[in-house]
Amino acid sequence: MGPMIVGHSHPDVLQAVCDAAANGLSFGAPTAREVEMADLLTELIPSMDMVRLTSSGTEATMSAIRLARGYTGRSKIIKFEGCYHGHSDSLLVKAGSGALTFGQPSSAGVPPELAAYTIVLEYNAPQPLVDTFAQWGDQIAAVIVEPVVGNMNLIAPRTEFLQTMREVCTRYGAVLIFDEVMTGFRVALGGAQALYEITPDISTFGKVIGGGMPVGAFGGRRDIMEQLAPLGPVYQAGTLSGNPVAVAAGLATLKLIQVPGFHQRLDDTARQLTEGLVAMAGKHGISFSAQHVGGMFGLYFRAQVPQTYDEVTECDKEAFNRFFHAMLDEGIYFAPSAFEAGFVSAAHGTTEIEATLAAADRVFVKMAA
């Protein structure tokens, strides 16, 4: 799922966790390490003047939405079909059927009345965004987006889509939330916002920043963040937020990934893997494509790389299932769904990639037969 960017049980991370644990597991108060973490996050992500830690990505996005609503005094939000932002009620919403503008719950237990505040639009399509703002602009608190989607397989953003989003949010006074729980510190040290040079108002993080322990964060512009209690009226708190042991794992991980060349190596590894798989599938006449953005990759049983939700649903799920299970039999564990992105870590090198490609060669032979 993406947190283990330096691989499992890295000695530096384990040492940091053990040292922190020896000093106490939890204090219910901010700790020095939490402040150190906040300083580092605001330094690495220049769009964040202030940041607050949570214990998961879900809490980070849920709190970011509440903050945006409190800041703007508006209730509606926009999300995109196929993006996942954790399991809070407002975000477990899918597109309404037919001409319905407002979303419907994508899980039992989410009140339809609440889901109706979430407008669900098509990813990578600038025009619906413009049209929706033209109609509801003064009621929209926020747009939340995965700047590179990793939850409907990997979908890369069209630059124009992100730019339009930034423009309409600014024009109508809505808060632009980049959900970088997956892309943060992974597609580049500065996240997708650095890679695509778009400045969001609020960013959310998780996964990599905990290095395998429960840490999330949300942060952004000072005037927005100052609306949070105790400075402002928007409530947010968590007994275990900024937990000293979890933060120790995160800090140790963030230290390791700041080594110059770290992300370039991840990028190289992901390229070697995806290009290798495409060549291998081509050799066996299997309809297959792949791409990567930094250390994130997508594999598609489809001739061309998809750019939209509709295109990704055209992938051959049956072929993916056969590939997944046959690779698992070979001892190689890919993300267990045709609709999840994959990740490489610093522990993956040429040896691992070559072994993976050799296994894929055997699997594609069987699939072609």
Ligand X SMILES: *Cc1c(COP(=O)(O)O)cnc(C)c1O
Give me the residues that bind ligand X (CB under 6 A), please.
Answer: 56-58, 61, 84-86, 146, 150-151, 179, 181-182, 206, 216
Closer Cβ to ligand X, 33 or 85, answer by number:
85
Reading the block at residue 282, the tokens are: 């081509």
**Least distance (Å) between residue 362 CB and ligand X:** 31
- Phi/psi-derived region of residue 260, left when phi > 0, alpha when psi is between -120 and 50, beta in every other case: beta
DSSP 344: -
Q: Which of 71, 84, 300, 309 is catalytic?
A: 84
- Mark whether 366 is an active-site residue: no
**Least distance (Å) between residue 326 CB and ligand X:** 27
**Least distance (Å) between residue 291 CB and ligand X:** 18
- Say if residues 148 and 192 touch (Cβ distance below 8 Å): yes
- Say if residues 247 and 34 touch (Cβ distance below 8 Å): yes
Q: Which of 179, 201, 267, 309 is catalytic?
A: 179
Residues 6+ apart with CB under 8 A from 46: 190
Residues 6+ apart with CB under 8 A from 351: none
Q: Tell me the residue number closest to ligand X, measured at CB.
A: 57
**Least distance (Å) between residue 118 CB and ligand X:** 15
Q: Which of 71, 76, 207, 267 is catalytic?
A: 207
Residue type, 200: P
- Mark whether 179 is an active-site residue: yes
Q: Provide the β-strand partners of residue 203.
A: 178, 219
Reading the block at residue 124, the tokens are: 């990578």
Q: Are strands 93-94 and 104-105 parallel, antiparallel or unpaired?
A: antiparallel
Closer Cβ to ligand X, 299 or 360, answer by number:
299
Q: Which residues are catalytic?
A: 84, 179, 207
